[in-house]
């Protein structure tokens, strides 16, 4: 039963996306050797290209790949004395895997993701390691995404793997008492990956797609935890609006985005996932942020938006995860719900506190509120200040447009 090249290529690509992390996770579980696990996974996918053409695509590509990678690992370890000694310790690996057996390999990715995101690793290394070992991105791809030299990124990953081995970071899902703290680290890593992709103004969806994929896996593997679903919902609701965020290199604010171009299927899914999370009745910052995103995504337009609800949600978020940026967003919602003077008063408080000094969205927000309230001269000064602080070209183009329209 042979298969044509295009079918096999597509099947291997799909398996790479869906199974890479699992194959690597199983191999690390068996050998505790991260490099060996990655090399053998790589070889298994390469072998699949020829084997699947000859024999057809297997019914369970993941099981085929895992078995093949496992055989590779055994072969490689047999080559030298140290490897043979290790094989004797790893009795489970030495046992010949039975392809035909219906034995389901449990999903090992949870152990892998918690290890990659261990707080004893530097945050940047957690992000890189997660993208490398779970999502299967190459070091070059990760380096490009984070505008880092490939050698720097490679070194970061090597050091992280070395620390896992040398410091004895356990390869496991943390016990219940550590889960909240450790899960927060995993969620922060996935959200950073998403935001890194979301900030891209070109058409590349790679990082947002990887983050959503990993969040789906996490949400499925931790069905009793509401926050992974909250994060997944938040990502889906943001992703739905992505195409309308920038127009011709100029940032488009929410109220001016073309809502007919928002992705309805993603919004519906995001809302459904959020409902599942909320049904668990344990709130958290990602669920609140997703609820805010859902208010925007399901509103018919800026006027039909439930601003009092959004203001209340920001107040809740400020309580769960206090930050001056959250306060700034709350000020905007309050301005929309209770009138511009109420919002401006909150912005002025923030300005006086100095906690957002140098952050361009502080004067930009103030400028927008002043403009709407008819204070043109003050608005102009605030836009000019924001323009001086704005970090990116789309931001500057947007602010220049506003300034010229005054």
Partner 1 sequence: MKYVLLISDDETRSPSNEEMDADPVHQAWEADLKRRGAERLGVRLRPVASATTVRVRDGETLVSDGPFAETKDFVGGVVLIECADLDEAIAIAAGHSYARWGGVEIRPVWE
Task: Tell me how far, at minimum, the Cβ of 172 lies from partner 1, in Å.
Answer: 8
In which region does residue 207 sit, left (phi positive, over 0), alpha (psi from -120 to 50) or beta (all else)? alpha
User: Between the CA of residue 302 and those of 90, 232, 255, 259, 296, what are the distances in Å?
Assistant: 61, 24, 5, 10, 8
**Closer to partner 1 at the Cβ: 170 or 223?**
170
Task: Tell me how far, at minimum, the Cβ of 168 lies from partner 1, in Å.
Answer: 4
Task: Tell me how far, at minimum, the Cβ of 132 lies from partner 1, in Å.
Answer: 21
**Closer to partner 1 at the Cβ: 178 or 406?**
178
Cite the DSSP H helix spans in 199-323. 206-221, 226-241, 264-279, 285-298, 307-320
82 lines the binding site for partner 1 (CB under 8 A):
no
Cβ atoms of 207 and 145 closer than 8 Å: yes
Question: Hey, which residues between 124 and 183 contact partner 1 (CB under 8 A)?
Answer: 166-170, 174, 178
Total residues in contact with partner 1, by rule CB under 8 A: 9
Task: Tell me how far, at minimum, the Cβ of 176 lies from partner 1, in Å.
Answer: 13
Task: Tell me how far, at minimum, the Cβ of 115 lies from partner 1, in Å.
Answer: 11
Among residues 163, 111, 153, the alpha carbon closest in space to that of 132 is found at 153
**Closer to partner 1 at the Cβ: 72 or 118?**
118
**Closer to partner 1 at the Cβ: 167 or 345?**
167
> In which residue are the tokens 């070109």 written?
202
Rounded CA separation 110/169 (Å): 15
Cite the DSSP H helix spans in 130-178. 139-145, 150-166
**Closer to partner 1 at the Cβ: 32 or 242?**
32
61 lines the binding site for partner 1 (CB under 8 A):
no
E strand or H helix at 107, and its extent?
A: none
Question: Hey, which residues between 94 and 123 contact partner 1 (CB under 8 A)?
Answer: 118, 120
**Closer to partner 1 at the Cβ: 170 or 199?**
170
Among residues 33, 184, 206, the alpha carbon closest in space to that of 136 is found at 206
**Closer to partner 1 at the Cβ: 70 or 118?**
118
345 lines the binding site for partner 1 (CB under 8 A):
no
Task: Tell me how far, at minimum, the Cβ of 28 lies from partner 1, in Å.
Answer: 15
**Closer to partner 1 at the Cβ: 125 or 291?**
125
Rounded CA separation 72/44 (Å): 8
**Closer to partner 1 at the Cβ: 162 or 319?**
162
Cite the DSSP H helix spans in 95-205. 109-116, 123-129, 139-145, 150-166, 179-198
E strand or H helix at 242, and its extent?
A: none
Rounded CA separation 124/147 (Å): 13
In which region does residue 82 sit, left (phi positive, over 0), alpha (psi from -120 to 50) or beta (all else)? alpha
Task: Tell me how far, at minimum, the Cβ of 120 lies from partner 1, in Å.
Answer: 6
Contact set with partner 1 (CB under 8 A): 118, 120, 166-170, 174, 178
């Amino acid at each position: 039963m042979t298969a044509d090249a295009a079918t096999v290529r597509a099947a291997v690509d799909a398996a790479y996306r869906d199974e890479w992390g699992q194959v690597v996770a199983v191999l690390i579980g068996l050998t505790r050797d991260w490099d060996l696990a990655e090399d053998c996974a790589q070889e298994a996918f390469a072998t699949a290209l020829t084997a699947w053409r000859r024999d057809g695509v297997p019914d369970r590509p993941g099981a085929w790949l895992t078995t093949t990678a496992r055989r590779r690992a055994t072969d490689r370890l047999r080559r030298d004395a140290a490897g043979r000694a290790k094989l004797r310790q790893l009795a489970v690996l030495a046992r010949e895997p039975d392809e035909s057996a219906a034995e389901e390999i449990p999903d090992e990715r949870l152990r892998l993701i918690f290890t990659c995101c261990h707080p004893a690793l530097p945050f940047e290394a957690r992000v890189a390691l997660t993208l490398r070992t779970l999502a299967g991105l190459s070091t070059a791809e990760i380096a490009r995404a984070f505008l880092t030299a490939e050698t720097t990124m490679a070194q970061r990953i090597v050091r992280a793997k070395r620390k896992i081995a040398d410091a004895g970071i356990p390869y496991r899902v943390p016990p219940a008492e550590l889960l909240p703290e450790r899960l927060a680290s995993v969620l922060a890593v996935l959200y950073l990956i998403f935001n890194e992709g979301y900030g891209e103004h070109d058409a590349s969806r790679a990082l947002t797609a990887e983050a959503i994929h990993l969040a789906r896996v996490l949400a499925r593997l931790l069905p009793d935890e509401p926050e992974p679903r909250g994060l997944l919902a938040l990502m889906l609701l943001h992703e739905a609006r992505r195409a309308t965020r920038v127009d011709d290199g100029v940032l488009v604010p929410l109220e001016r985005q073309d809502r007919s171009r928002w992705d309805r299927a993603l919004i519906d899914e995001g809302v459904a996932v959020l409902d599942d999370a909320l049904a668990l009745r344990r709130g958290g910052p990602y669920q609140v942020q997703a609820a805010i995103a859902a208010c925007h995504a399901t509103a018919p337009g800026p006027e039909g938006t439930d601003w009092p609800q959004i203001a209340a949600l920001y107040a809740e978020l400020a309580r769960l995860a206090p930050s001056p940026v959250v306060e700034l967003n709350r000020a905007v919602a309050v301005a929309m719900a209770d009138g511009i003077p109420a919002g401006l008063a909150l912005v002025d408080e923030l300005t006086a506190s100095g906690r957002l000094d140098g952050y361009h969205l502080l004067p930009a927000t103030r400028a927008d509120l002043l403009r709407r309230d008819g204070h043109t001269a003050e608005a102009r000064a605030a836009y000019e200040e924001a323009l001086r602080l704005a970090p990116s070209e789309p931001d500057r183009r947007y602010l220049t447009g506003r300034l010229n329209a005054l």
